């Protein structure tokens, strides 16, 4: 079974702190994604990575950066956390073979910024 793990289920940080959210997948997938999920807004794509050291902005990249130094690991960085970044963060991965490739999701990290 594909497994996508996220470093924390719950995280509480203070405004202005630098925050790292880690995601690891064990299926040798090329593509990895970071989303945020907010009530009434669904899932919105923050960043996408299609290979090691390669990244592409999603729909809401402002205030975020990412790092992908190894194929299995994709990190989301909040350079200076703000209260409007309080949200559920979901990581996903997918391979490159076949059509309509399934995205596999981690359990999510609920981040609260005080």
Partner 1 sequence: GDSVTQMEGPVTLSEEAFLTINCTYTATGYPSLFWYVQYPGEGLQLLLKATKADDKGSNKGFEATYRKETTSFHLEKGSVQVSDSAVYFCALTRGGGSEKLVFGKGTKLTVNP
- Among positions 11, 43, 60, 77, the unique one binding partner 1 when judged by CB under 8 A: 43
Is 47 an interacting residue with respect to partner 1 (CB under 8 A)? no
Taking CB under 8 A as the criterion, which residues in 48-77 touch partner 1?
A: 48, 50, 58
Q: Which of residues 41 and 52 has its CB atom nearest to partner 1 in the complex? A: 41
Per-residue CA distances from 12 to 32, 77, 88, 100, 111 (Å): 24, 15, 12, 36, 6
Q: Which residues of 24-40 are buried (b: 16+ CB within 10 A; e: fewer)?
A: bbeeebebbbbbbeeee
Residues sharing a CB contact under 8 Å with residue 38, sequence separation 6 or more, in sequence order:
44, 87, 88
Is 103 an interacting residue with respect to partner 1 (CB under 8 A)? yes
Is 94 an interacting residue with respect to partner 1 (CB under 8 A)? yes
The residues of the shown chain that bind partner 1, judged by CB under 8 A, are 4, 31, 33, 40-45, 48, 50, 58, 90, 92, 94, 99-108
């Amino acid at each position: 079974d594909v497994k996508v793990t996220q470093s924390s289920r719950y995280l509480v940080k203070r405004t202005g702190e630098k925050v790292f959210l880690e995601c690891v997948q064990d299926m040798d997938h090329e593509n990895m994604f970071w989303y945020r999920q907010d009530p009434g807004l669904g899932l919105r794509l923050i960043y996408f990575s299609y290979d090691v050291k390669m990244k592409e902005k999603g729909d809401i990249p402002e205030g975020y950066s990412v790092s992908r130094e190894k194929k299995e690991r994709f990190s989301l960085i909040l350079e200076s956390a703000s209260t409007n970044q309080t949200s559920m963060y979901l990581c996903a991965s997918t391979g490159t073979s076949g059509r309509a490739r399934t995205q596999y999701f981690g359990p999510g990290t609920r981040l609260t910024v005080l």
